[in-house]
Amino acid sequence: MKNNTEKRPILELENVTMRFGGLTAVDRLGFTVYENEIVGLIGPNGAGKTTVFNCATQFYNDYEGHIRFHKADGEVVDLRSKPITDIVSLGIARTFQNIELVPDLSIIDNVVIGAHHMFKTGVWQHILKTKKAREEEKAWREKAVDILTFLNIAHLKDFYVAGQPYGILKKIEIARAMMSNPRLIILDEPAAGLTEYETDELEKLVYKLRDEFNVSILLIEHDMGFVMNICDRVCAINFGKFLAMDIPEKIQTHPDVKEAYLGSDAA
């Protein structure tokens, strides 16, 4: 990755604070993700990582502070000014810690769902199967096949999601996220539940997503080997507070990070 002074920001968090009653889950947190950068957000259980993701994608919008997204045309958007339904259209896609797929639909149908907000034809046109609706559906299904081919699972496209191995389900979620042509992909524990072979494969896939689709990636992951291998920079938090952000080698030796993970004797 180039020096940050040569990169344009894509996501900026400034003094973000999120409270649930008397509990402060995120406390004046700030960091920046740059274009074409892979950033890991780490911290012990309960550190506030998923809450940060939920704020960035406007599942929670009653936080304090600012979260800004830089669009491809240079416009900077304060995400809190946008409803959750507009976040994908802006260029932000997300996968979830718990698989959020429709088990009774085929793999390709689950992937095409990721583009439904961009369909120009309406519900009735699809019910009546008008020519325009059929042509649009065909185009999106072709794109879905291209993405599934990129992920090496196109041969499974007509199989139901139900019964697929966990590693395949993770790929389907990524494929669905890619359908919206995102500039930023937020991955919530992408390596959780994967075998060692699948984790190694995912590392290569994340690099390919960044390099071939020109996207930035922000991820939460408890597999520290995965995080340190793949991330350009890592942001460490604890109890919702910023600890440090740096290249993986420096994060691993940072005294505050070591104390948060291992206790005060480790520092």
Q: Is residue 81 part of a domain?
A: yes
* Pick from 37, 49, 80, 79: nearest CA to 242: 49
156 and 124 housed in the same domain: yes
Q: How many CB atoms lie within 10 A of CB 97?
A: 14
131 and 192 housed in the same domain: no
Question: Is residue 25 within 8 Å of residue 237, measured between CB atoms?
Answer: no
d(CA 12, CA 235): 13
What pLDDT, on the 0 to 100 scale, is given for residue 266? 43
Q: Is residue 176 part of a domain?
A: no
Task: Give the model confidence (pLDDT) of 15-73 as tens digits.
Answer: 999 999 999 999 999 999 999 999 999 998 888 999 999 999 999 999 999 999 999 99
Domain boundary among 127, 150, 170: 170
DSSP string, 121-179: S-HHHHHTT-HHHHHHHHHHHHHHHHHHHHTT-GGGTTSBSTT--HHHHHHHHHHHHHT
108 and 87 housed in the same domain: no
What pLDDT, on the 0 to 100 scale, is given for residue 3? 53
Q: What is the CA radius of gyration of the chain?
A: 19
118: containing domain: 103-170
CATH number for the domain including 191? Answer: 3.40.50.300
Number of H helices, E strands in the chain: 10, 10
192 and 83 housed in the same domain: yes
Helix, coil or strand: residue 96? coil
Q: Is residue 9 part of a domain?
A: yes
Amino acid at site 9: P
Give the strand order in the sheet containing 9-20: 23-34, 9-20, 64-70, 76-78
What pLDDT, on the 0 to 100 scale, is given for residue 267? 37
What is the b/e burial string over 236-265, where b = at least 16 CB atoms within 10 angstroms of the residue's CB? bbbebbbbebeebeebbebeebbebbeeee
161 and 206 housed in the same domain: no
Domain boundary among 114, 139, 170: 170
Look at the chain and report how many structural domains it folds into. Answer: 2
Q: Is residue 243 part of a domain?
A: yes
189 and 225 housed in the same domain: yes
Q: Is residue 232 part of a domain?
A: yes
Helix, coil or strand: residue 92? strand
63 and 9 housed in the same domain: yes
113 and 225 housed in the same domain: no
166-178 helix and 196-213 helix, angle to the nearest 10 degrees: 10
Q: How many CB atoms lie within 10 A of CB 35?
A: 18
- Positions in the chain short of pLDDT 70: 1-5, 116-129, 133, 262-267
d(CA 109, CA 111): 5
What pLDDT, on the 0 to 100 scale, is given for residue 105? 95
The strand pairing partners of 64, in sequence order, are 17
Hey, what are 104's tokens?
A: 């009774």
78 and 196 housed in the same domain: yes
pTM strictly above 0.95: no
